[in-house]
Chains A and B, each alone.
Chain A
Amino acid sequence: MVKKYALPVVLIALAFLFPLIDPLLEAVLGKSLLFSAIVIAVYVMLALGLNIVIGFAGLLDLGFVAFYALGAYVTGWLASSHFKQVSFSFLSAAPTETVSGNAVPGIHISFWIILVLAGAFTALCGIIIGAPTLRLRGDYLAIVTLGFGEIIPRFFQNGDDLGGFNLTNGTIGIKAIDSPGLPFLPDSLPAWQQFGTLNLNPWYYTILILVLITVYINIRLRDSRLGRAWISVREDETAAAAMGINPVTTKLWAYALGATFGGIAGAFYGAFIASIFPTSFSFNVSILVLCMVILGGMGNIYGVILGAIALQGLNFYLLPQINTWVHRIGDAVGSPLLSGADIPKYNFFIFGIILVLMMLLRPEGIIPNRQRQEELHSGDDDQSITDAARA
């Protein structure tokens, strides 16, 4: 027991201490990692959400970005001055009156309530998209979700004139989104009363707690009856039905739960970035998150977390680093091609190579899920053959 919990406890403790370590890292690396850590954590949450859909239930969702985008726009709608027609505030940490004493235009609802609303809203969207689609077998879901992931950003892009109503503000997006805050805290904690851009710690701890809740729910789901039902439906729908499992509702649960986490991650991201554009939610995001799940090991919670950290780490740190090295080499050898290269531009190319290599060398991911590993290696499962011979 002690052994089983030792590693998670150490990792969680490290995660909580990270903002204290960060200044030291900054001294060494010349740059704070806190901002990147927050974005990585958002992606960890996204990957864990998609892991429920792909890893647990075996449904290929190619449009996961849709829920991320919807969550972010929920924050945009409910915590900014976008809807100037109305003026409504509810428990918001942002000022409710302008300097001249008028009520602030737009809807301003507490960030903490928005997190819940965004989760509920995206779950509902997941059910609406999933209910008709999940009845079909095979890869229809992949195609429908691919379309859904493409349509949603388009909709946000063109939703500035829906019969004269400006829902999304088009390509300009929604700006000046309210910062969250805990206004009831004592004045000695100003950074916590209203989250700002100078002190990122409150943001960091918020997303860290969201991630931990997501991990906890993932673990509980995996070990639940529903988790068992997902495995059986993944293996054989007809046989699962004969056991009394309704395959459609079982898959719908996975899809809606995944959507919920995608939406909450989006809602947080919207508030953190404070301005959202349709272009932030492109197909690339779906693929990036998918890569994280596959790279880490579909269905394995720790693997997926590692996959998310590895790929975003690559994006944020390794690629710019390689870029500088290549430039230096280019300068040294006098090659303008190398010194002017823009390596981060090729990140998807590099992900592609990593994925192909992974599929060839270790298709079950860095940390495999037991059942998945067997699904992928059933052809060359010498171990079980020798086991059987010995038995």
Chain B
Amino acid sequence: MALLEVENMHSYYGNIHALRGVSLTVEEGEVVTLIGSNGAGKTTTLRSIHGVLPPKEGKVIFDGKEIQGTPAHDMISRGIAQSPEGRKIFSRMTVRENLEMGAYHRSDRDGIRTDMDRVFELFPRLQERIKQEAGTMSGGEQQMLAIGRALMSRPRLLLLDEPSMGLSPVLVERIFDIIREINAQGTTILLVEQNANVALEIATRGYVLETGAIVNSAPAAKLREDPKVREAYLGEI
């Protein structure tokens, strides 16, 4: 049984039909990436899974239970954490306070401390900046914080929306190494990326989304070889 199964999901913004029957699965332990051009509906897919924009039609099955229609604030206790597009860190809070917010629903102090240490191991930069106001940090540091905050809930499934946005190539490499490391430590990941090249490097499988529908899905290695994908998303002619 897959950890996450999305079946024929339709979502709307008002009367804009943004998702037209998206289906995908994520197996426990995988890194699955969702690639697609601007406006394809990648963020919308994550929002719909996460309950921010409940789908009008279709099913979202997590760990065997149907969760479509569950409000966003109940997702974290079910084991789904999100690092949203545009980071959305609490910019007036310090780094530490942001990380604590990630563990808001938990009460196991020791576990929280262990997880914070783990986040600091993954992102030593965050430890150096522990008392800094999150909003005054650089874009890359904020991205680290957003991912670190999501990890603080010790999620089974981590939804990442464009972790590479606005980062220098070197930093993109670093972030993706860390994502791989997070996955190796046991967190299943659904990764949305514009930067298909790097995303397909670390993913097990990939889905290609075009105007609200999945048009292709295959193991990542295969997608990288696909001439259409290379042309459209890997910037090759």
- Interface of A with B (CB < 8 Å)? 225, 228-229, 231-232, 235-236, 238-247, 371, 374-375, 378, 381, 384-385, 388
- Interface of B with A (CB < 8 Å)? 50, 52, 71-77, 81-82, 84, 88-93, 97, 100-102, 104-105, 132-133, 135-136, 149-150, 153
Query: Contacts A229-B104, A242-B82; is A247 near B90 (CB within 8 Å)?
Result: no
Query: Contacts A242-B84, A245-B104; is A388 near B136 (CB within 8 Å)?
Result: yes
Partner of B90, one of A225, A235, A378: A235
User: Which residues in B have their C-beta under 8 angstroms from that of A388?
Assistant: 132, 136
Query: Contacts A228-B104, A388-B136; is A244 near B92 (CB within 8 Å)?
Result: no
In the complex, the answer to whether B92 meets A235 with C-beta atoms within 8 Å is: yes
A235 to B94, CA, bound (A): 13
10 pairs of residues in contact across A and B, judged by CB atoms under 8 Å: A231-B90, A232-B104, A242-B73, A242-B150, A243-B104, A244-B77, A246-B73, A374-B92, A384-B133, A384-B136
Residue in chain A with minimal CB distance to B129: A391
Q: Shortest CB–CB separation between residue A148 and chain B, in angstroms? A: 27
Query: Contacts A238-B72, A374-B92; is A243 near B133 (CB within 8 Å)?
Result: no
| Besides the known contacts A225-B104, A235-B91, A241-B71, 16 further A-B residue pairs in the complex with CB atoms under 8 A apart | A228-B100, A231-B90, A231-B93, A232-B101, A232-B104, A238-B72, A238-B88, A239-B89, A240-B101, A242-B88, A244-B76, A245-B104, A371-B92, A371-B93, A378-B135, A381-B136
Q: Shortest CB–CB separation between residue A389 and chain B, in angstroms? A: 11
In the complex, the answer to whether B75 meets A242 with C-beta atoms within 8 Å is: yes
In the complex, the answer to whether A374 meets B84 with C-beta atoms within 8 Å is: no
Q: Shortest CB–CB separation between residue A58 and chain B, in angstroms? A: 11
Query: Contacts A228-B104, A384-B136; is A244 near B153 (CB within 8 Å)?
Result: yes
In the complex, the answer to whether B133 meets A244 with C-beta atoms within 8 Å is: no
Q: Shortest CB–CB separation between residue B52 and chain A, in angstroms? A: 6
Most chain-A CB neighbours within 10 Å: which of B89, B92, B100? B92
A244 to B107, CA, bound (A): 13
A242 to B90, CA, bound (A): 12
Q: Shortest CB–CB separation between residue A12 and chain B, in angstroms? A: 30
Q: Shortest CB–CB separation between residue B63 and chain A, in angstroms? A: 17
A231 to B94, CA, bound (A): 12
In the complex, the answer to whether B105 meets A243 with C-beta atoms within 8 Å is: yes
In the complex, the answer to whether A247 meets B93 with C-beta atoms within 8 Å is: no
User: Which residues in B have their C-beta under 8 angstroms from that of A245?
Assistant: 73, 104
Partner of B101, one of A228, A247, A378, A385: A228
User: Which residues in B have their C-beta under 8 angstroms from that of A242?
Assistant: 50, 72-73, 75-76, 81-82, 84, 88, 150
Q: Shortest CB–CB separation between residue B110 and chain A, in angstroms? A: 18
A186 to B25, CA, bound (A): 77
Partner of A239, one of B71, B74, B84, B100: B84
A85 to B161, CA, bound (A): 67
In the complex, the answer to whether B136 meets A241 with C-beta atoms within 8 Å is: no
In the complex, the answer to whether B73 meets A236 with C-beta atoms within 8 Å is: no
In the complex, the answer to whether B76 meets A243 with C-beta atoms within 8 Å is: yes
In the complex, the answer to whether B92 meets A243 with C-beta atoms within 8 Å is: no
Most chain-B CB neighbours within 10 Å: which of A229, A241, A374, A378? A241
Q: Shortest CB–CB separation between residue B106 and chain A, in angstroms? A: 9
User: Which residues in A have their C-beta under 8 angstroms from that of B102?
Assistant: 243
Q: Shortest CB–CB separation between residue B87 and chain A, in angstroms? A: 9
User: Which residues in A have their C-beta under 8 angstroms from that of B150?
Assistant: 242
User: Which residues in B have their C-beta under 8 angstroms from that of A246?
Assistant: 71, 73
In the complex, the answer to whether B88 meets A236 with C-beta atoms within 8 Å is: yes
Residue in chain B with minimal CB distance to A229: B104
User: Which residues in A have their C-beta under 8 angstroms from that of B105?
Assistant: 243-244
User: Which residues in B have their C-beta under 8 angstroms from that of A229?
Assistant: 104
A245 to B100, CA, bound (A): 13
A378 to B135, CA, bound (A): 9
Partner of B133, one of A236, A238, A241, A374: A374
Residue in chain A with minimal CB distance to B135: A378
User: Which residues in B have their C-beta under 8 angstroms from that of A236?
Assistant: 88, 90
Residue in chain A with minimal CB distance to B150: A242
Residue in chain A with minimal CB distance to B146: A239
User: Which residues in B have their C-beta under 8 angstroms from that of A374?
Assistant: 92, 133, 135
Most chain-B CB neighbours within 10 Å: which of A228, A239, A246, A371? A239
Q: Shortest CB–CB separation between residue B113 and chain A, in angstroms? A: 17
Q: Shortest CB–CB separation between residue A325 and chain B, in angstroms? A: 44
User: Which residues in A have their C-beta under 8 angstroms from that of B100?
Assistant: 228
Most chain-A CB neighbours within 10 Å: which of B71, B73, B102, B150? B73
Q: Shortest CB–CB separation between residue B102 and chain A, in angstroms? A: 6
